[in-house]
């Protein structure tokens, strides 16, 4: 058996952790030039979602990482509400966070007035116009604004819509995997050209994708 040469790894000395006190937990997400980001834990029909928002818009929204296909139990009757918030400043519940809760609440109830509501504000990382934006940001922008409730699009078609002559399915898949804002940027509506639903969250949350597509009437229950 060939011996494997040892790999050199640099180990950075760790700073000792400060003991945790009784102060409120503080969000450790990166700062935004619009202000501090607060982190909200939301109860939703697809389990706990974490929402990070600055005063101007949402940075991230997603189911907890611990939710996967083995333990996913949808609770259709769960009201969307803020369970806890971890804050960096004074604990304000930012307007984009409240709008997001309202939007998600209507979304999960299949309330027709959802279509009259604008998407909750997403922080400026997605506000770039298509011109000069990266392929990933164009893909996410088009998905958020052009693929509506109850519609689906294939990876390749979304790639072509975003300026790739070949469709760049793999790059689109990577963009979906890195989607920072679950549901509002509806990567669950991106499916394979064959009609197979494809992966969600790298394949760990495919049952959630099926459930969302059933909720929107794309798949039969």
**Eight-state DSSP code of residue 143:** H
Q: Toward Zn ion, which CB reaches closer, 97 or 147? A: 97
Query: Per rule CB under 5 A, is residue 80 in the interface with Zn ion?
Result: no
Q: Which of 32, 51, 126, 169 binds Zn ion (CB under 5 A)?
A: 32
Least distance to Zn ion, CB of residue 141, Å: 17
**Partners of residue 43 on adjacent β-strands:** 81
Confirm or reject binding of residue 34 to Zn ion (CB under 5 A).
yes
Asked if 95 is part of the footprint of Zn ion (rule: CB under 5 A), the reply reads: no
CB of 26 to Zn ion, least distance (A): 17
* Piece of the chain touching Zn ion by CB under 5 A; list 2-10, 51-59, 157-165, 203-211: 51-59
46: its two tokens: 């697809």
Q: Which of 107, 20, 15, 90 is nearest to 55 (CA)?
A: 90
Which residue, 212, 164, 208, is CA-closest to 189? 212
Instruction: Determine the Cα–Cα distance for residues 123 and 40; give it in Å rounded to an integer.
Output: 16
Angle ∠(215,218,221) on CA atoms, nearest 5: 60
Q: Give yes or no for a contact between 103 and 120, defined as CB atoms under 8 angstroms apart.
A: yes
What pairs with residue 185 in β-bridges? 182
Identify which range of 14-22, 26-34, 126-134, 173-181 contacts Zn ion by CB under 5 A.
26-34
Among 42, 46, 51, 54, interactor with Zn ion by CB under 5 A = 54
- Does the active-site annotation cover 187? yes
Binding to Zn ion (CB under 5 A): which residues in 117-146? 123
Report the catalytic residues.
187
The residue ranges that bind Zn ion (CB under 5 A) are 32, 34, 54, 123
């Amino acid at each position: 058996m060939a011996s494997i040469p040892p790999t050199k790894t640099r180990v950075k000395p760790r700073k000792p952790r400060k003991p945790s006190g009784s102060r409120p937990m503080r969000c450790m997400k990166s700062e935004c030039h619009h202000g501090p980001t607060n982190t909200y834990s939301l109860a939703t029909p697809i389990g706990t979602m974490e929402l990070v928002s600055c005063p101007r818009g949402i940075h991230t929204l997603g189911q907890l990482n611990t939710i996967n296909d083995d333990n996913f139990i949808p609770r259709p009757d769960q009201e969307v509400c803020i369970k806890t918030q971890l804050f960096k400043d004074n604990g304000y519940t930012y307007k984009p966070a409240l709008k997001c809760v309202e939007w998600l609440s209507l979304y999960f109830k299949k309330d027709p007035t959802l279509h009259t509501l604008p998407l909750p504000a997403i922080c400026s990382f997605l506000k770039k116009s298509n011109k000069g934006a990266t392929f990933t940001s164009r893909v996410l922008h088009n998905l958020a604004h052009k693929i509506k409730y109850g519609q689906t699009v294939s990876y390749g078609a979304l790639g072509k819509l975003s300026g790739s002559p070949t469709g760049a399915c793999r790059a689109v898949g990577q963009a979906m995997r890195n989607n920072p804002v679950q549901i509002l940027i509806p990567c669950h509506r991106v499916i394979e050209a064959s009609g197979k639903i494809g992966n969600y969250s790298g394949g760990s949350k495919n049952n959630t994708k099926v459930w969302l597509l059933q909720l929107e009437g794309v798949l039969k229950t």
